[in-house]
Structure 1
Amino acid sequence: MSTQGKVWLVGAGPGDVGLFTIKGREILAKAEVVVYDSLVGDGVLAIVPASAEKINVGKRAGHHTMKQENINQVLLEKAQEGKRVVRLKGGDPFLFGRGGEELELLCEHDIPYEVVPGVTSCIAVPAYNGIPVTHRDFCSSVHVITGHKREGENYNIDFEALVRTRGTLVFLMGITAMEDICKGLLEAGMDPETPAAVLQQGTTAGQKRVVATVATLKQASDAAKIQTPAIIVVGQVCQVADTFGWYEKLPLAGYKVLVTRPKELVSGMAKKLREQGAEVLELPAIGVKPVEDRTNIYKAFEKLDTYQWLAFTSPSGVRIFFELLMDAGKDIRALGSVKIATIGRGTAKALKEHHLYPDLMPEVFDGASLGAKMAKECEPGAKILLARAAIGNKEVTEELAKREDLTVDDVAIYDTFYESQELIDEKGQFESGKIDCAVFTSASTVKGFVAATPGLDDTKVLAACIGKQTEAEALRYGMKTAVAKEASIDSLVDLVIELKMQK
């Protein structure tokens, strides 16, 4: 008998991945099938498990990849196959998300399910635009209305009742019908001077706000070329938007950045960029894994006490070194009195997680500088274990070779492989200018990015590079480049802010 499957209706929030709930993220991480909408933000799509079956059901006003009854059937069939199914929906599943319809068929067939609420755009998008949907000085209620109607049909909305509430009105999915909505409110007796706003792509880099009146909103929206998805807010609270607006004051507000680092190292960079207001796409272009043939590294482990120096060139090298050390039945005590050299702060930070501090770190964070500084400071006849990627560059060993008395065991402990994802069209977003820049932390991430975006005109990519080696690789593909003042995450973030200011 097959294992019973289960369905989770998960609200993905309004776009900003930071507004995706903790519970939603935990459930998504375990999904075997993900059925997703067009309104799910890129940041959330980027964390869909690579192993999951992904089914795009579209669903944006006027454009449906799959009819609702077919979506219901897909959820049922995949659950009946015994799968963990996540129905990922923009905003909240039960607020005009047709979540109730999807549950009906599951109930009929006794399929277990859970609902994970999402942060809804009717609250979050005004908040990101400085509009409190309730305010004691202006209103005592808020009303959420769908602005969507079937083609050729009249609105089934009691505009007179809405006007009588004197509350804040939030219309979702109403951009194409904005003229009809404003007309309905005016004909129902609303003061033409009532403040109104249209809010485009809230909580993302595409966020844009137009504040006008009910009488002038359509004209102002057209002049500003507002694009969907967007919401309409009507009420006195709209007048405080310019005063309370906060998102646009952040240094990287309105700037979309692609971060390309090995998967396990992404979050620190992304977090710092998001704190500055950027919309960040975490799309690892490379992955790392321990080498399959571990003969040489295990040989080195057996004679660790013979080395005077242990050198690391990346955080991944540190992480995998200690993983393999444990696999070999050894721990930190096996290092004895060996001194440790690292290439930069990120690598040093990874080392500190094992309660170790580097004895040597060059002022400039690149291979040549590490090799040169070690060649200068290593004691006569020193023996060095260089634990790094199989495709490590030659600059470290070339500098060390200038000291003929040094013995260097250059041991590959991990392989680098290129990754790609299928849910986000990086190529299209770069070519349309939706992604403002890409951040590269090594030459290998540049190579991985190029491999993951076949057909992209790389001259359209603005590359923020951690160092000269990385820049040289980006220039090989014709990218526009800028280099951080020093090879650190903080310096890269400062560089991205400079690039935005120059835009």
Structure 2
Amino acid sequence: MIRIGTRTSKLAMIQTELVKQKIQEHFPKEKIEIVPIITKGDVILHQPLASFGGKGVFTQEIEQQLLDKTIDIAVHSAKDVPMQLADGLCIGAVLAREDCRDVLVTRTGISAKDLPAGSVIGTSSLRRELQIKAMNPFVEIRMLRGNVPTRLQKLKDGQYDGIILAAAGLKRLHLEQEDGLFYEYFSKEDFLPAAGQGILAVEICKDSLKEVMDCLNDENARAVLMAERAFLTALDGSCNAPCGVCCEKSEDGFWISGMYAKDGKNLQRVDKKTDGTQPADAVALAENVAASLKVQTVSLVGAGPGAKDLMSLRALECVRRADVIIYDNLISPSILNEAKTEAKLLYVGKRANAHFMEQEEINRLIVGEAKKGGYVVRLKGGDPFIFGRGGEEALALKKEGIPFEIVSGISSSYSVPAAAGIPVTHRGCAASVHIITGHEGKEKKQAIDYAVLAKEEGTLVFLMGLGRIDEITQKLIQYGKDVKTPAAVISNGLSARQQSVTGTLENIAAKVRKEKIKTPAIIVIGEVAALSEELIFAKQKPLSGKRILLTGTRSLIAKQEDTLKQLGAETVDISLIETYPCRAERTQEKLSTVSDYSWIAFASAMGVHQFFAALSEVHVDRRKLGGVKFAVVGAATAEVLENYGYIADVVPQRANAETLGSIWADTLNRKDKVLLVQGRQSSPVLSEQLKEKECETDSICLYETRQDMRRIEECRRICPDMDYVVIASGTAAEAFKEVTDGLKLPKIVAIGPQTAKACEKAGLSVTAVAKKADSEGIAQAVLQDIIQAGNE
């Protein structure tokens, strides 16, 4: 006796009869029983499949009976079989494929492309929805569930203007000739089917009924089914994924067409062929097609000449969206503070004679990361196509069939001279500008033609040429350039370390050595170089020339950066810590009864933000706060609270928990009920002070601070070149110590006494402590140290 399990629908029963007949052809004496099984998908008919489980809803109950041995085999439409089968089960046989196309059934016979705007099309498949909308964007899609006869009846009743069905189901039910209905069969070129559509799969317990499976199995159908399922698996797809795929075999190999809408909206399609004729070749091809569809457009982005505020809005958007950022050392480190906290940051920086990674390795890295399916940004200093080797990277991507885009950046070739007061073109001085690499290539066609350059009347700008400045100037003189031609060299342009030296073609090299000018530097030769002293526009400010490393959270750094930049400092943003929401046990319970508290105390500005976010999450009406008083740790926290519409009743002049407790605790009595809002790493000082007052106190933890160690190497690389580093918390102090262990450190500024103690505990020597725990306090601490150092 062979018991065959199947769904209860008419189509499922017909498909199972086909399997039964085929078994009986080979085993006429075998008794066969068909066991109808009701599945979850057969019961829930008024919801989209995605809303309650997907493909497994048509197989889970059947698979369980296989495992329980109450049935011996199960018959499925292959497109309903989930990617991951239950342990102990396998697809024992695959029957020859029926017509795999989709069909638009209408009452009018109007083709899909010509349906009037607003026509209602029934389908519950996102794959079908996207493809029909691509044919005719003006139709309206409405959910369609139920068995095939039920769906056709809904069409006849006028609930829909058209419905999309599988051709195989119509043919097996002999419903492809219904009176009063018209059938438009979509070609596979226009409309790709679901993986396995038109194929019947027989599921069994592993190592059972081998002879029976051998008689049922069609090797070609199995090969294409395994390929189509491999395609879905490679895309992490399911029945709900907007994927379409069709694999076909011919005498000279396999052909696969696959489509995918990763964002659920925009379809992409790839067609490929292989000469291999083995099933493994089909699977490999399917995975290759899927990999092509997973790949997103790689952005080759110009970060500008170094300063974060000189990159384009488009470039900034790319950085903020990126899953992977591959960057070099000619960008502002602060730019990476705009990246997602989960983004992968890969450093491939280089300078003359000190390559961290060769260009061929970088090309392979970009291609490899792109093939993983994430959004990759290659972030380069200046502009990718001006001696940035962006062309080489673009060609490497093109060779692999990976789409790319170029996001141009401000080039240092003109922005750095401008910062030194040199316009690279100027009426009466230079009507043209010539940008030349300071590195000559090995090939003859890449050699610098000094004979031609010496005759040019315009401005000559040499990038990456400082190490060859003697050769450059001597060659130009040798080929006829006037030795009195003005020249300038600008080092570390647009940074706090910017240095400029001006002279003439005959003495500029000597002046560079005398002033100890270092890379990166730009050489400008031409009459415009003489304008430098007249047009220099940078004004000295109190913190001009100082480089300050900011290590706090992004929100805190943003405030510090603005204040310090206005005073002339160059800030470098590397957030070694970040705050994340967290919700402790009983949070909802405490917030739901928030009106029971007489006081709410906030240990930080982040606590205020997270408190109101949590109130919204549990749908607590803010009017419940009407009778509550507020105590905050400092003026900055009071300002944030006021932005939410509430005025703090207690604000200490010194922003720390100990001061708050000392001035607030005396106003409390036993009748008061206090809610303390804090983070996981908040100081216990305030809680301990409240305990002494014997008033009822609850505390809720709504956020936590975590260390972000993605930029360890970058921090170590730039730290020796900093003048000051700002530490804004104990967690940041621990992170900074771990990151910079063994390095010579810049002067350390702590945001307050408690942070200073945390720094000392971590083994960091503090130079200055802000009297006020905000950006102005930090600035004043730095200024005071500069004054004091100048007086010594």
TM-score by length of 1: 0.90
> What is residue 774 of structure 2 aligned with on the other side?
488
Corresponding residue for 1:460? 745
Among 141, 144, 149, the residue aligned to 2:440 = 149
Task: Note if contact 2:635-2:653 (Cα within 8 Å) is conserved in structure 1.
Answer: no
The match for 1:37 among 328, 341, 353 is 328
Tell whether 2:699 aligns with 1:414: no
Q: Which runs of 5+ in 2 are unaligned?
A: 1-230, 232-289
Worse-superposed segment, 186-195 or 224-233: 186-195
Q: Distance in 1 between matches of 2:567 and 2:428?
A: 32
Could you give the per-residue CA deviations for residues 416-448 of structure 1, whole angstroms, max 9, x where no partner exists? 322222364323543x3x111111223333233
Do residues 166 (structure 1) and 451 (structure 2) align? no
Deviation of the 1:311 alpha carbon: 0.9
Q: State yes or no: 1:221 paired with 2:512.
A: yes
Distance 1:327 1:34, change over 3 A: same
* Contact 2:413–2:435 under 8 Å retained in 1: yes
1:437–1:464 Cα contact (<8 Å) kept: yes
Aligned mates of 2:464, 2:741 — CA distance in 1: 34
State the identity as a percent. 34
**Segment drifting more, 334-343 vs 240-249:** 240-249
| Residue number in structure 1 paired with 2:660 | 370
- Kindly indicate whether the alpha-carbon contact (under 8 Å) linking 2:337 and 2:554 is maintained by their aligned counterparts in 1: no
Structure 1 unaligned spans of 5+: none
Report if aligned partners of 2:551, 2:576 keep a CA contact under 8 Å in 1: yes
Of 732, 747, 750, the residue aligned with 1:445 is 732
SS of the residue aligned with 1:359?
coil
Please give the alpha-carbon distance, in whole angstroms, between the structure 2 residues aligned to 1:340 and 1:317: 13
Displacement after TM superposition at 1:338 (Å): 0.7
Mapped to 2, the partners of 1:346 and 1:305 lie a distance apart of 25
> What corresponds to 2:754 in structure 1?
469
Quote the residue 2:783 is aligned against.
497
Residue 81 of structure 1 deviates from its aligned partner by 3.6
Asked whether the 8 Å contact 1:260–1:286 carries over to 2, the reply is yes
Task: Give the alignment of 1:254-403 within 5 angstroms.
Answer: 254-295=545-586, 297-378=587-668, 381-401=671-691, 403=693
Q: CA deviation at 1:95?
A: 0.7
Report Cα offsets for 1:387-416 as digits up to 9, x if no partner. 112332233234445544x33323333233
- Change in 2 beyond 3 A, CA 1:488/1:117: same
Please give the alpha-carbon distance, in whole angstroms, between the structure 2 residues aligned to 1:378 and 1:128. Answer: 59
Which of 723, 729, 736 pairs up with 1:436? 723
- Given that 1:474 and 1:481 are in contact with CA atoms closer than 8 Å, whether structure 2 keeps it comes out as no
Change (3 A) 1:352 1:249: same
Instruction: Quote the Cα distance in structure 1 between the aligned partners of 2:450 and 2:690.
Output: 79
- Name the CA shift for 1:242/1:400 in 2 (closer, same or farther; >3 Å): farther
1:353/1:151 Cα in 2 relative to 1: closer, same or farther (>3 Å)?
same
CA distance in 2, matches of 1:60, 1:392: 43
Indicate how the Cα distance of structure 1 residues 421 and 279 shifts in structure 2: closer, same or farther if over 3 A, else same.
farther
Q: Is it true that 1:136 corresponds to 2:427 in the alignment?
A: yes
Give the TM-score of the pair, scaled to structure 2: 0.59
Q: CA deviation at 1:226?
A: 1.5
State the SS of the aligned residue for 1:360: coil
CA distance in 2, matches of 1:43, 1:223: 32
CA distance in 2 between partners of 1:414 and 1:108 (Å): 47
Deviation at residue 9 of structure 1 after TM alignment: 0.8
Structure 1 residue 298, shift from structure 2 partner: 2.4
Q: For structure 1, which segment, 215-224 or 96-105, has the greater mean C-alpha deviation from structure 2 after superposition?
A: 96-105
1:8 is aligned to 299
Contact 1:460 1:480 in 2 (8 A): no
User: Per-residue displacement from partner, 1:2-52 (whole Å, max 9, x unpaired)?
Assistant: 223321110111211121222112112222333323423322344444533
Q: Establish whether residue 195 from structure 1 lines up as the match of residue 486 from structure 2.
A: yes
Q: What displacement does 1:120 show?
A: 0.7
Residues 488 and 152 of structure 1, relative CA distance in 2, 3 Å threshold: same
Residue 479 of structure 1 corresponds to 765
Q: Which residue of 1 aligns with 2:536?
A: 245
Worse overlay, 356-365 or 217-226: 356-365
Q: Distance in 1 between matches of 2:687 and 2:373?
A: 53
The superposition leaves residues 212-264 of structure 1 with CA deviations (integer Å, 9 ceiling, x where unpaired) of 22111111111122211111011232233334334462333322211122233
Is contact 2:670–2:693 with CA below 8 Å preserved after alignment?
A: no
The amino acid across from 2:407 in the alignment is: V
Greater shift, 345-354 or 177-186, is seen at 345-354
Q: Which has the larger radius of gyration?
A: 2
Change in 2 beyond 3 A, CA 1:292/1:351: closer
The whole-number CA distance in structure 1 between the counterparts of 2:331 and 2:447 is 27
Q: What displacement does 1:173 show?
A: 1.0
Q: Is the 8 A contact 1:371 1:398 kept in 2?
A: no
* Aligned residue number for residue 714 of structure 2: 425
SS in 1 for 2:351: coil
The letter for the 2-side match of 1:337 is: G
Cα shift at 1:163: 4.1
* Whole-angstrom distance in 1 between the partners of 2:669 and 2:583: 33
**1:96-107 alignment runs, 5 A limit:** 96-107=387-398
1: CA distance, partners of 2:555 / 2:459: 44
1:268, 1:443 → 2: CA distance?
Answer: 19
Q: Secondary structure at the match of 1:425?
A: helix
Contact 1:247 1:277 in 2 (8 A): no
Distance 1:137 1:251, change over 3 A: farther
Determine the structure 2 residue equivalent to 1:90. Answer: 381
Give the SS at the match of 1:139: coil
- In structure 2, the residue matched to 1:17 is 308
Distance, in Å, in 2 between the alignment partners of 1:74 and 1:471 is 42
1:120 aligns with 2:411: yes
Shift of 1:369: 1.6
Q: Give yes or no for contact 1:374–1:400 (8 Å, CA) kept in 2.
A: no
2:674 and 2:390 mapped to 1: Cα distance? Answer: 61
Between 241-250 and 384-393, report the one with greater CA deviation: 241-250
- Any idea what the Cα deviations from partners look like across 1:151-190, whole Å, max 9, x if unmatched? 6989833435434443222111111111111112222333
CA distance in structure 2 between the aligned counterparts of 1:62 and 1:351, rounded to whole angstroms:
54
Question: Which structure carries more relative contact order (alpha carbon 8 Å, separation 6+)?
Answer: 1
| C-alpha distance 317-99 of structure 1, shift in aligned 2 (>3 A) | same
Task: Output the CA distance in 2 between the equivalents of 1:177 and 1:270.
Answer: 37
Asked if the contact 2:592–2:620 (Cα under 8 Å) also holds between the matched residues in 1, the reply is no
- In structure 2, what residue type is equivalent to 1:492? I
- Structure 1 distance, partners of 2:444, 2:451, is 19
Deviations 1:366-404 (A, max 9, x none): 112211221244477322211112332233234445544
Q: Which whole-Å CA distance do the structure 1 matches of 2:750 and 2:361 have between them? A: 46
